[in-house]
Amino acid sequence: MQTAAEPTRQQLAQRYLQVRAFSEQLCEPLAIEDYGLQTAVEASPPKWHIAHVSWFFENFLLRPLLPGYQVFHSRFDHLFNSYYEQTESGFWPRAKRGLLSRPTVAEVYDYRKHVDHGMQRLIQECDGEDWRLAQERILIGLNHEQQHQELLLTDIKHHLAFNPLRPAYRSDLDTSAPEQAVPLTFTAIEGGMTELGATGAGFAYDNEHPRHPTWLAPYRLADRLVTNGEYLEFIADGAYANPAIWLSDAWAVIRQQGWQAPLYWEQIDGSWHEMTLAGLIPLQPALPVCHLSYFEAEAYARWAGKRLPSEAEWEHAAAQRPIEGLFVDSGRLHPRAASVGELSQLYGDCWEWTGSAYLPYPGYRPAAGAIGEYNGKFMCNQMVLRGGSCATSRDHLRPSYRNFCYPHERWQFSGLRLADAID
């Protein structure tokens, strides 16, 4: 008998097709020339993403679990393994993903078809103990592909913004905003004993486990994200020229990189513009500030007399609320202005930097083998972001979801919400 939580083979096959189709849909606006670009070490070529997500299914499902499976190409495991050390193949250096004209885009789509074919067969034929494992891994593989769908958009934005023509990914996107943001208000939250982490209902990554108790002092969370208009005041106050405002590591990056504003902001004839997936647009003060590093989010919060929420504070507030907001499903691909009400924009729009280091929860154990490298080995020197963005799929998120980035990184759709103590 199937339990409610366990999809049937047919449901899984359908889900697989849906998720795979969305990756291809996201690539439709691309020109062939766009597919191979890598404009930063962390921004991979679209062609690589398309191949890597297929490799993930090939390596973790088809090779170990589908009898008679023939790999599409004997070297693709080397080219499209991202970072898994516990494999025979090793991997091509991340920084050089953009230097490979072959396989061609057409060949990468053929690879994709080959893997899809194998996966359909696996979903029909696999059984017994193998099927248990396969089901688990298919869910990881689908969630993995959804992560790369967000990265596809994030990286395409980076590649197009690098180009002085500032080309649009799609010129038909709605990036409109009201003249003024809703006033900044705060919601008081009681705190006390609470639990953090995945509840066990539905899929979660290993880094959301184990669920564990934690204590929270009473706190306040802003009812919306910090806006471009507010961040402009920070800039106008001379923030980027004032070392007193910044953490030491932040100031070093600011000096070295010459940062003067968030990523994708530029001044044209004295007026601020912002590069978006719809191309370059005048900066709109009511929209959330996006593409900030942790360094900028943390400094802004302190400058504003506030602080970043901890991930426990964020999750405690979010777990009691519906997962509603602006996701990739809307097709806007740019954050929108907040609406009036409590804790607007909690999900979607922009990932929210928290003040929490990305660390294992008490008792966390990564799985054995290469699959255990998925999240666990990154639990050092990164910070947690919560809530998803306008580039995240709605059904990829849950209250316990933990994203993570290095504190200087700002190419993802990352913004901030202020927090404060109750006095």
Minimal distance, residue 344 CB to ligand AVJ, in Å: 24
317 and 343 Cβ atoms separated by less than 8 Å: yes
Q: Does 403 contact ligand AVJ by CB under 6 A?
A: yes
Minimal distance, residue 147 CB to ligand AVJ, in Å: 4
351 and 413 Cβ atoms separated by less than 8 Å: yes
Rounded Cα distance, 123 and 13, in Å:
7
Concatenate the DSSP letters of all residues of 73-115 into one string.
-TTHHHHH--S-SSSSS----GGGGGG---S-HHHHHHHHHHH
Residue in this structure with the two tokens 């083998």, named with its chain if needed: 369
Residue in this structure with the two tokens 């940062």, named with its chain if needed: 259
Nearest to ligand AVJ of 111, 404 (CB atom): 404
Q: Considering only the stretches 144-152, 172-180, 310-318, 413-421, report the one whose residues sit in contact with ligand AVJ under the rule CB under 6 A.
A: 144-152
Could you check whether the bond before residue 178 is cis, i.e. omega within 30 degrees of 0?
no
Q: Does 97 contact ligand AVJ by CB under 6 A?
A: no
Rounded Cα distance, 73 and 115, in Å:
11
Q: Does 336 contact ligand AVJ by CB under 6 A?
A: no
Q: Does 147 contact ligand AVJ by CB under 6 A?
A: yes
Q: Does 87 contact ligand AVJ by CB under 6 A?
A: no
Q: Does 144 contact ligand AVJ by CB under 6 A?
A: yes
Of residues 64-83, which lie at the interface with Fe ion (CB under 5 A)?
A: 82
Minimal distance, residue 52 CB to Fe ion, in Å: 6
List the structure tokens of 97: 């993903």
Nearest to ligand AVJ of 47, 148 (CB atom): 148
Identity of residue 282: P
Residues 384, 386, 392: CA angle, nearest 5 degrees:
120
Minimal distance, residue 107 CB to ligand AVJ, in Å: 22
- Binding-site size for ligand AVJ (CB under 6 A) equals 7
Minimal distance, residue 112 CB to ligand AVJ, in Å: 17
Which does residue 137 bind out of Fe ion, ligand AVJ, none, counting CB within 5 to 8 angstroms by kind? none
Q: Considering only the stretches 147-155, 261-269, 362-370, 393-401, report the one whose residues sit in contact with ligand AVJ under the rule CB under 6 A.
A: 147-155
Q: How far is CA 108 from CA 74, 141, 157, 217, 320, in A?
A: 14, 18, 21, 52, 43
Which does residue 294 bind out of ligand AVJ, Fe ion, none, counting CB within 5 to 8 angstroms by kind? none
Q: Which residues bind ligand AVJ (CB under 6 A)?
A: 144, 147-148, 151, 374, 403-404
Q: Which residues bind Fe ion (CB under 5 A)?
A: 82
